[in-house]
């Protein structure tokens, strides 16, 4: 049972309108946002940040951002966000081979060196304590410009917030996200944990 239950999606008209964004990314409004709306300013600010961070501005594609979010969430241990990010990656056209081998990104041929650098950064930046080092920084700068690195870290930081929110709140996983977690992640030990 969640720490605080979500409110109905129509509880706050302004939040509901802003939350329509999630119909594209997930196909539903997440329970995390429905809980945040108990303080509408938090929900509104979060949705605005989410839109800004996940906007596709070029080479850091929408599907890569979701795979970055997945590895950040895997590192943090948040099964709620793992299910959401793998669902969104699929909805944004992530290559099936990449989704099937995301745990092997360092060696699998489906991933480019640029993607490996971004995904290694996601793991290191999500670790506690943080393990971003000179090697990771150097590899990032070989493949990504400063603006792209800001985009990548924006995704990692956004999911840092979400991982803490959803694991502390014990947010209930929505049925479509649970189904995608079972479909794509259960072979790697994903169970949904406290979120199902």
| Average model confidence (pLDDT) across the chain | 96
| pLDDT recorded at residue 107 | 97
**Residue of 57 and 48 predicted with greater confidence:** 48
- Decide if 176 is inside a domain: yes
Torsion angle (degrees, nearest 10) of CA 181, 187, 193, 196: 40
- Decide if 9 is inside a domain: no
- Decide if 5 is inside a domain: no
Residue 1 has pLDDT above 90, yes or no: no
| pLDDT recorded at residue 57 | 83
| Residue 82 domain boundaries | 61-195
- Decide if 85 is inside a domain: yes
- Decide if 71 is inside a domain: yes
101 CA to centre of own chain: 17
189 φψ region: left (φ > 0), alpha (ψ -120 to 50), beta (else):
left
| pLDDT recorded at residue 151 | 97
Q: What is the percent of the chain with per-residue pLDDT over 70, rounded to a whole number?
A: 100
| pLDDT recorded at residue 37 | 96
Structural domains in the chain (count): 1
Please report, for the domain that includes residue 120, its CATH number.
Answer: 1.20.1290.10
């Amino acid at each position: 049972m969640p720490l605080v239950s979500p409110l109905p999606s129509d509880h706050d008209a302004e939040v509901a309108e802003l939350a329509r964004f999630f119909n594209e990314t997930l196909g539903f409004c997440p329970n995390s946002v429905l809980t945040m709306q108990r303080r509408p300013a938090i929900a509104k600010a979060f949705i605005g940040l989410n839109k800004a961070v996940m906007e596709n501005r070029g080479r850091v594609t929408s599907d890569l951002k979701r795979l970055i979010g997945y590895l950040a969430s895997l590192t943090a241990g948040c099964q709620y966000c793992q299910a959401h990010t793998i669902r969104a990656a699929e909805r944004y056209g992530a290559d099936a081979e990449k989704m099937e081998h995301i745990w092997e990104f360092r060696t699998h041929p489906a991933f480019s060196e640029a993607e490996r650098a971004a995904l290694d950064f996601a793991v290191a930046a999500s670790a506690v304590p943080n393990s971003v080092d000179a090697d990771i920084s150097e590899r990032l700068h070989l493949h990504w410009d400063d603006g792209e690195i800001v985009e990548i870290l924006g995704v990692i930081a956004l999911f840092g917030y979400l991982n803490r929110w959803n694991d502390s709140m014990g947010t209930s996983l929505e049925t479509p996200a649970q189904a995608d977690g079972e479909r794509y992640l259960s072979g790697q030990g994903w169970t949904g944990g406290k979120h199902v």
